[in-house]
Structure 1
């Protein structure tokens, strides 16, 4: 299934986009609005295959889909921490947190702080905040 847009050629498979497709869509997200993508698309793309791309998009303050990328990073971090790093590599997450702390802006610093707070205190997990975008819509430090 290919979804067409004005400046974006579309996804060969929206359930499993390539990093290049995700990057192209992120720079023209209106070409395929989120409501036209598969249900829970954020949960589908917030995995190891695309996390480096999502991190780069979240680090780019000019990216039109930056908030979406940051939201996916919250999902990835929560999934990593809550599964005690069985779902995703601890090393990969820690490298992203370190980079966010050294090179990121306030939004990435909040994500890094909140991820480290969740790691120290897993009871801070709230599904709405971590998986439904609450911490992206209302930036704040937890813990």
Structure 2
């Protein structure tokens, strides 16, 4: 039996706060309060050595049910397709053009936040339609 009680999803990125705030908007997540003794995350950052300023950021589900997202700065840029991606479930239970309309509406909202639309994959008899997108640093995700 596993002793794991919860997990977080970690993103490697160039600008952790920017990517975290994007995903807060996408998922309805919030930025957690700063550590005890600090009025803000900026105050906390200033307590660290300068090379660690802005090196990480996180966001969490306000209900505490879904996993925490953690964003860490890495020196290298994204060079290949993600091996893991998030499916943002906005069309659950919908089929056909009703599903595509829901995907397109959410796509429009996310593009306004800085996401990039990649392509619509239409239903093929096995899978329902989904919309492939990229976040503000080019990480793929799907509207499903």
Bigger radius of gyration: 2
Q: Higher strand share goes to which structure?
A: 2
**Same fold (TM > 0.5):** no
Higher relative contact order (CA 8 A, sep 6+): 2
